[in-house]
Structure 1
Amino acid sequence: MNTENVVKHLRVLWRTDRIIADIRMRHLLVGLGLRAFAALIAAFGLLMLELSAYFALVQIWSAIYAAAILGAVNFVIAALLFAIAARPPSGRELELANEIHGASVDALQIEARALQSHVSGVVHNPLHGILPLMIIPLITIIIKSLKKPAAAAAPAKSAAAEPK
């Protein structure tokens, strides 16, 4: 497990989550603005259309039937506007951000599995975790101990060779 990889994947995950949230927020704000604008225009437009339609329908039917027909038409138009505003966001940005998000989550899961296997290996056999750290100091101690007797034997041989 590499902590740099974990940090890198967490940064990518954080950034893609921010991008996804930003895209969705922009979509919600645009949708809300369009709904409000559509409602305002629809209110003024329908008021004028209803007034003219009411005067036209009163000539043909009674005032009650004219008002009922115009109310039903208003509900149909409002339903169409809400259906158009409720469309899901479509765009390559959101798809790309979702793909990057998925890839970074997968990479974090791989790092977590590596950490879990490393920790379980250390718990089950603690020497495997300590042994690599101890090999180099042990080798240096062994080499130094092997050099000391050879170095001590060399002055003894030179002292024995001088009395002849």
Structure 2
Amino acid sequence: MNIESILTNLRVLWRTDRIIADIRMRHLLVGLALRALAALIAGFGLLMLELAAYFALVQVWSAISAAAALGAVNLAIAAVLFVLASRSPAGRELELATEIHDTSVEALQVEARALQSQLSGMIHHPLNGVLPSLIVPLITVIIRSLKTRAAPSAATTAAPQK
């Protein structure tokens, strides 16, 4: 378990999530723009069809057929744009970003499993985790206590000899 590797993986995960979101947002905006254009053209087509119906009531067939043909062409263009807008091609950028994202998630899962095993080991055997950090201070305390006991006993034995 290395904190730096966890932080690195989290940074990579954050950056790839931003890249994926940016790519998806660009695709959504392009699709939305194409749909808006298709809706505008469909509106023009509808106006032309309405104009054709008006000419059908007022004029001779030549004006009617021209307006109807223009309306039909506008509707065909709008249909093609709607089909293009509904197709969102996944580019190589999105595939690469998704692959890096999956790799960083897997690395974080490995780090989490290692941390979990360390914590479960400390819970089942708490002295195994605490004992190495306590051995050195315990040895120094024992040595100091032995030195302080040895110093007064040496002073008491030296005093009666005078």
TM-score by length of 1: 0.66
The answer to which structure, 1 or 2, has the higher relative contact order (CA under 8 A, 6+ apart) is 1
* Alignment of structure 1 residues 1-164 onto 2, 5 Å: 1-44=1-44, 51=52, 55=61, 74=75, 78-144=78-144, 148=147, 152=151
Residue aligned with 2:119, SS: helix
TM-score by length of 2: 0.67
Structure 1, unpaired ranges of 5+: 60-65
Letter of the aligned partner of 1:100 in structure 2? I
Give the superposed CA RMSD.
Answer: 3.9
Looking at structure 2, the residues matched to 87 and 124 of structure 1 have their Cα atoms a distance apart, in angstroms, of 55
Letter of the aligned partner of 2:130 in structure 1? I
Moved more, 109-118 or 81-90: 81-90
Letter of the aligned partner of 2:28 in structure 1? L
Seen in structure 2, the aligned counterparts of structure 1 residues 21 and 31 have a Cα distance that, compared at 3 Å, is same
Question: Would you say the 8 A contact 2:38–2:79 is kept in 1?
Answer: no
Question: Would you say the 8 A contact 2:23–2:94 is kept in 1?
Answer: yes
Identical counterparts, % of pairs: 66
Structure 2, unpaired ranges of 5+: none
Residue aligned with 1:90, SS: coil
Letter of the aligned partner of 1:85 in structure 2? A
Deviation of residue 121 (structure 1)?
0.4
Moved more, 98-107 or 11-20: 11-20
Looking at structure 2, the residues matched to 152 and 104 of structure 1 have their Cα atoms a distance apart, in angstroms, of 61
How many residues matched? 148
Question: Would you say the 8 A contact 1:24–1:89 is kept in 2?
Answer: no
